[in-house]
Amino acid sequence: MSPSVPLQEMIRAIRSARTQCEERGVIQRECAAIRAQFRQVDNGARSHNLAKLLYVHMLGYPAHFGQMECVRMIASPRYSEKRVGYLGAMMLLDEKQDASLLITNSIKNDLSHSNQYVQSLALCTLACMGSAEMCRDLAPEIDRLLRASNSYIKKKAALCAVHIVRKVQDLGELFAPAARSLLSEKNHGVLHGAVVLITELCERNPETLERFRKTVPDLVQIMKGLVISGYSPEHDVAGISDPFLQVRILRLLRILGRNNEAASDAMNDLLAQVATNTDSTKTVGNAVLYETVLTVLDIKSESGLRVLAVNILGRFLLNNDRNIRYIAMTSLQRIVGTDHNAVQRHRGTIVDCLKDQDASVKRRALELSLALVSASNIRSMMKELLLFLSSCPPELRAQAASGIFYAAERYAPSQRWHIDTILHVLTTAGGDVRDETVPNLIQLITNASELHCYTVHKLYRALLNDISQQSLVQVACWCIGEYGDLLLRGECQETEPAQVTEDDVLDALETVLQSHMSSPATRGFALTATMKLSTRILDNVDRIRSIVSIYGSCIDVELQQRAVEYNALFRKYDHMRAAVLERMPVIEKNSPGHTNGESAGEPMKEIQPPKVKQGEPLLPQQPANQKDGVTLTLSCEKQSDSVLTVTLTASNSTDSDMSSFTLQAAVPKVCLSTSNAKEAFSVRTCTYSRLCKTTQSYDALSYDEHQSVRGKVWSIRCKTTNYIREEENHCLISKINKAVAVFNKKLYHFPPPNLAFNSRC
Amino acid sequence: MSLTTHFPLCFLFSLFQMQFMLLFSRQGKLRLQKWYVPLSDKEKKKITRELVQTVLARKPKMCSFLEWRDLKIVYKRYASLYFCCAIEDQDNELITLEIIHRYVELLDKYFGSVCELDIIFNFEKAYFILDEFLLGGEAQETSKKNVLKAIEQADLLQEVRHRMKSK
């Protein structure tokens, strides 16, 4: 065999270049020479030149000027030139290049060449880079070769047909008959090609699949022959006879047996035989076993066979070879839904794999572990998962965190455990949790009313420790704002109470406010929490006042707005402050009828729009609060996406008139840019001279400030702007704040109605 | 960037297919690249660069399989060369390891105790051998003997014609 000396010399020259620059120089010179040679008439060294160019191309340098040369070489009568020409075509031309069409004719001719090695080149190239058009053009040729040629060509034609079918699905019909007859060939290469082709045809066309089901007995026979027959040196790999063919047949059987009892029955014995007799000491045996297991689990197999398959996977899990363990977990993942109990038996081993060094194995173990969590093993599993979270690779953290949350939510044995778990995750992986964790946790905390003291203590300590994890800090600020009084009280049942002064708490919040680590959203939480504390602490209200006023000129618009409004709450509306900043009610998740956005303008449950016909009683609104003969109700109506109309109505059911009363409502302005509900308030005021006694039905709409007519109801309409926009997967909680009525200079405030607007969570 | 976004729709149906095979040295130099799916040069370069980086970053005792984008990568190191195949979701990773091993055996038989230099200086032969073993990403011949015989015959043909020409 003559070595391609010029090629090897060039390679040597390139490799001896000491710098990138030198290499480029060598290559440029060579390419120039090659280009010149291409332009010359046939000089007997064409294949060497093209080979050189291909080498240069592999190093990453441009070689498109060789495309036409490939086309020319392919058309050459010399085998050596054809060989390199086709190689070049596969490397430089792909179906996206126009030049690829030019070789279609050459390929066509070479497919019927008298020499099988030339035919082989054409088949290989077509199967590698044939475009859809080329495939359509040449499909009949391929079909012909499938039927009438020697084994060497038939096996290649079969795989070429596979490529054609992948490109042009309709042509599958053309090859089906030939594929069927190829199954009776003895040659392993041809059989392998036939099985691959039939697999491809069946996957793409359900009718073809039906027809080929009849071949199951034949396939079983072939397989049996491979498994049982004596040693065949030609195809033997570590004691397994032609594992490549075995795997392919098993795969085809899988597709044919899927969802079909009869076919599954026909292959049952064979699968059992392969599963039990295949030697599993080497990878090759395990490859066959693996394919067998996949097939058993996918078809309608007998329960005994299924158990056998899962046991094989269980054995794989204990294998020393990491690859095998990985494979086992991949397969177990697929069946954890359907054969849950069988997989549970191997939970211990799977959990151990969480500690494996390999990231791929860890990932699989994590997915599988999360799938195996159940009510009975939640405590022990969570311990392992939290341990894993503290040392897991960064790319798995988000997945682990959300998996843990989900499991905790489904199977939490107690509220305290649930809160503890979430806090643990937030401290270890707070940066990797999703946005809605914060409102979810807040909701969880408010619902666990006996644990408020415990929770705020824990969060306070966590806050002192570390203010970099935004989710944690946000929840902590919120808790401190809400339950700060419990913190300051200095007593707690569930945990060691903290000896905390008001200054300490305010220091903590101010640190968050001022820290550059805090995101704008976090600072918002901190500011609101500080404000809330003004009604829960005794001595340091002035400090709070000054904090709030400082932020009135903050550069962050959101903070500034909040600060300004809180300032207003201190000054003009101080009488309302306590009521406004009261404890939040228990937030209900997904309360029926409280989802907005389902249809614009649809009111909430039991609340009617204010438009009522004359004479019709106003249906009861939610809630009707009564005190001293004054009835106060709130209703809301969503007019459009950004406008919500809140109607506060007051009515007088005493015998006499009430004079000089003021009706005020504090309505939150809810702005939405993240999932956090921001509590900012705006106050609407309406002053009336009289609230007259009402005895009859109401007319809610009209009111006249100057008249004091009996039977009238006065109402305030407030429009809130920037109301809640629909955001997927976020639980937004907003509260229409309480109605605070001032009648005759006396403050009446009514507990807030249970109006929670949630978007679908 | 997902490979699947660049394919014509029909490729999405293929559940078992080798998409490409790469051979590269421990310094990350590409020694062979065989693509069974149509991609632009730019895309191929990007994929190669990223994948080479990812595989070289793996430690010795780690799993031979990794998930990369939405493909499964099966790789094995033989002396100074990494053999790397990209297969699709439903493919059998273990048999792919066997395919890689078979290819190495073929190279070994052909070159006589093959080393990286053989593949560098005779890269076109490495391709020819690969093309006689795999076709369109699938194994075409499962007998080692037959593959080697075919290569031998083809080489002879090349010789004969060559000699005939120079007469």
Three-state secondary structure call for residue A667: strand
Q: Return the domain boundaries, chain B.
A: 18-166
- Does the pLDDT at position A727 exceed 70? no
Cα–Cα distance, A608 to A618 (Å, whole number) = 8
CA angle (A711, A717, A719) in 5-degree steps: 170
Beta strands in A597-671, from DSSP E residues, in sequence order: 625-627, 630-638, 644-652, 658-668
Choose from B101, B124, B129, B163 for mutation: most chain A CBs within 10 A. B124
Residue with tokens 């699709």: B88
What chain A residue is nearest to B42 in terms of C-alpha separation? A60
Cα–Cα distance, B49 to B55 (Å, whole number) = 10
Cα–Cα distance, A323 to B63 (Å, whole number) = 5
Question: Given an 8 Å threshold on Cβ–Cβ distance, is B94 in contact with A196?
Answer: no
Q: What is the mean pLDDT of residues A298-309?
A: 89
Choose from B135, B151, B155, B160 for mutation: most chain A CBs within 10 A. B135
Nearest-CA distance B140 → chain A (Å): 6
Per-range mean pLDDT, top range of A19-33, A422-436, A647-661 = A19-33
Contact A117, B149 (CB under 8 A): no
Question: Given an 8 Å threshold on Cβ–Cβ distance, is B153 in contact with A166?
Answer: no
pLDDT value for A580: 75
Residue B38 identity (one-letter amino acid)? P
Chain B residues with CB-CB distance to A193 below 8 A:
138, 140
Contact A174, B150 (CB under 8 A): no
Nearest-CA distance B113 → chain A (Å): 18
Mean pLDDT of chain A: 78
Question: Given an 8 Å threshold on Cβ–Cβ distance, is A204 in contact with B13?
Answer: yes
Integer-rounded Cα radius of gyration of chain A: 39
Within a 10 A sphere around the Cβ of A559, how many other Cβ atoms?
Answer: 20
Contact B115, B126 (CB under 8 A): no
Question: Given an 8 Å threshold on Cβ–Cβ distance, is A159 in contact with B136?
Answer: yes
Q: What is the mean pLDDT of residues A97-103?
A: 81
pLDDT value for A657: 61
Cα–Cα distance, A445 to A26 (Å, whole number) = 71
Which among A78, A87, A245 has CB closest to B142? Answer: A245
Nearest-CA distance A342 → chain B (Å): 22
Which among B8, B120, B131 has CB closest to A124? Answer: B131
In tens, the pLDDT along A154-205 reads 999 999 999 999 999 999 999 999 999 999 999 999 999 999 999 999 999 9
Choose from A153, A196, A241 for mutation: most chain B CBs within 10 A. A196
> Which residues 6+ apart lie within 8 Å of A35 measured at CB?
A65
Beta strands in A486-584, from DSSP E residues, in sequence order: none
- Does the pLDDT at position A629 exceed 60? yes
Mean pLDDT of chain B: 87
Chain A residues with CB-CB distance to B120 below 8 A:
11, 15
Three-state secondary structure call for residue A242: coil
Cα–Cα distance, A32 to A53 (Å, whole number) = 10
Category of B100 on φ-ψ map: left (φ > 0), alpha (ψ -120 to 50) or beta: alpha
In tens, the pLDDT along B53-94 reads 999 999 888 899 988 888 899 999 999 999 999 998 888 999
> Which residues 6+ apart lie within 8 Å of A377 measured at CB?
A347
Length of chain B in residues, anyone? 167
With CA atoms as reference, report the closest residue to A158 among A111, A205, A196, A122: A196
Which residues are A636's β-sheet partners? A646
Which among A123, A166, A247 has CB closest to B92? Answer: A247
Q: What pLDDT band is residue A735 in, cutting at 50, 70 and 90? A: very low
- Run of H or E residues at A150: none
Chain B residues with CB-CB distance to A152 below 8 A:
150
Contact A81, A106 (CB under 8 A): no
With CA atoms as reference, report the closest residue to B165 among A212, A2, A444: A2
- Does the pLDDT at position B140 exceed 90? yes
Say whether the peptide bond before residue A623 is cis (omega within 30 degrees of 0): yes
Question: Given an 8 Å threshold on Cβ–Cβ distance, is B142 in contact with A60?
Answer: no
Residue A608 identity (one-letter amino acid)? Q
pLDDT value for A386: 92
In tens, the pLDDT along A204-245 reads 999 999 999 999 999 999 999 998 876 778 888 888 999 999
Percent of chain A whose predicted confidence (pLDDT) is above 70: 76
- Does the pLDDT at position A380 exceed 60? yes
Nearest-CA distance B95 → chain A (Å): 5
Q: What is the mean pLDDT of residues A599-610?
A: 31
Which residues are A46's β-sheet partners? none
pLDDT value for A638: 54
Cα–Cα distance, A697 to A10 (Å, whole number) = 103
> Which residues 6+ apart lie within 8 Å of A353 measured at CB?
A317, A325, A329, A361, A362, A364, A365
ipTM of the complex: 0.90
Q: Return the domain boundaries, chain A.
A: 435-591, 616-759
Contact A379, A416 (CB under 8 A): no
Chain B residues with CB-CB distance to A132 below 8 A:
8
pLDDT value for A368: 92
pLDDT value for A650: 64
Residue A663 Cα distances to A252, A657, A688, A708, A714, angstroms: 78, 15, 8, 15, 9
> Greater confidence, B7 or A574?
A574
Q: What pLDDT band is residue A596 in, cutting at 50, 70 and 90? A: very low
Question: Given an 8 Å threshold on Cβ–Cβ distance, is A294 in contact with B92?
Answer: yes
pLDDT value for A635: 62
In tens, the pLDDT along A34-88 reads 998 888 877 677 888 899 999 999 999 999 889 989 999 999 998 999 999 999 9
Cα–Cα distance, A392 to A491 (Å, whole number) = 37
Question: Given an 8 Å threshold on Cβ–Cβ distance, is A117 in contact with B62?
Answer: no
Q: 3-state secondary structure string, B54-123? A: HHHCCCCCCCCEEEECCEEEEEEEECCEEEEEEECCCCCHHHHHHHHHHHHHHHHHHHCCCCHHHHHHCH
Q: What is the mean pLDDT of residues A369-375?
A: 91
Cα–Cα distance, B73 to B24 (Å, whole number) = 14
pLDDT value for A744: 36
| CATH class in words for B18-166 | alpha beta
Tokens of A13: 């020259």
Question: Given an 8 Å threshold on Cβ–Cβ distance, is B61 in contact with A167?
Answer: no
Q: What is the mean pLDDT of residues A618-643?
A: 53
Q: What is the mean pLDDT of residues A333-346?
A: 86
Chain A residues with CB-CB distance to B39 below 8 A:
94
Nearest-CA distance A371 → chain B (Å): 20
What chain A residue is nearest to B127 in terms of C-alpha separation? A87
Tell the burial category of A492 from Cβ atoms under 10 Å away from its Cβ (0-12, 13-18, 19+): middle
Chain B residues with CB-CB distance to A200 below 8 A:
14
In tens, the pLDDT along A488-499 reads 887 777 777 778
Residue A589 identity (one-letter amino acid)? K
Percent of chain A whose predicted confidence (pLDDT) is above 90: 36
Question: Given an 8 Å threshold on Cβ–Cβ distance, is A291 in contact with B93?
Answer: no
Choose from B20, B158, B159 for mutation: most chain A CBs within 10 A. B158
pLDDT value for A606: 29
pLDDT value for A647: 60
Nearest-CA distance A727 → chain B (Å): 27
Chain B residues with CB-CB distance to A155 below 8 A:
140-141
- Does the pLDDT at position A700 exceed 80? no
In tens, the pLDDT along A643-689 reads 555 566 666 666 666 555 555 555 444 333 333 333 334 444 444 44
Q: What pLDDT band is residue B11 in, cutting at 50, 70 and 90? A: very low
pLDDT value for A245: 95
The 8 Å CB, 24+ separation contacts for A28-35 are A30/A56, A31/A56, A31/A61, A34/A66, A35/A65
With CA atoms as reference, report the closest residue to A713 among A730, A693, A731, A729: A693
In tens, the pLDDT along B84-136 reads 999 988 889 999 999 999 999 999 999 999 999 999 999 999 999 999 999 99
Chain A residues with CB-CB distance to B19 below 8 A:
none
Q: 3-state secondary structure string, A273-308? A: HHHHHCCCCCHHHHHHHHHHHHHHHHCCCCHHHHHH
Question: Given an 8 Å threshold on Cβ–Cβ distance, is B63 in contact with A188?
Answer: no
Chain A residues with CB-CB distance to B13 below 8 A:
166, 169, 203-204
Which among B15, B35, B136 has CB closest to A203? Answer: B15
- Does the pLDDT at position A730 exceed 80? no
Q: What pLDDT band is residue A588 in, cutting at 50, 70 and 90? A: low
Q: What is the mean pLDDT of residues A251-276?
A: 93
Length of chain A in residues, anyone? 761
With CA atoms as reference, report the closest residue to A81 among A106, A98, A100, A60: A106
- Does the pLDDT at position A2 exceed 50? no
- Does the pLDDT at position A348 exceed 80? yes
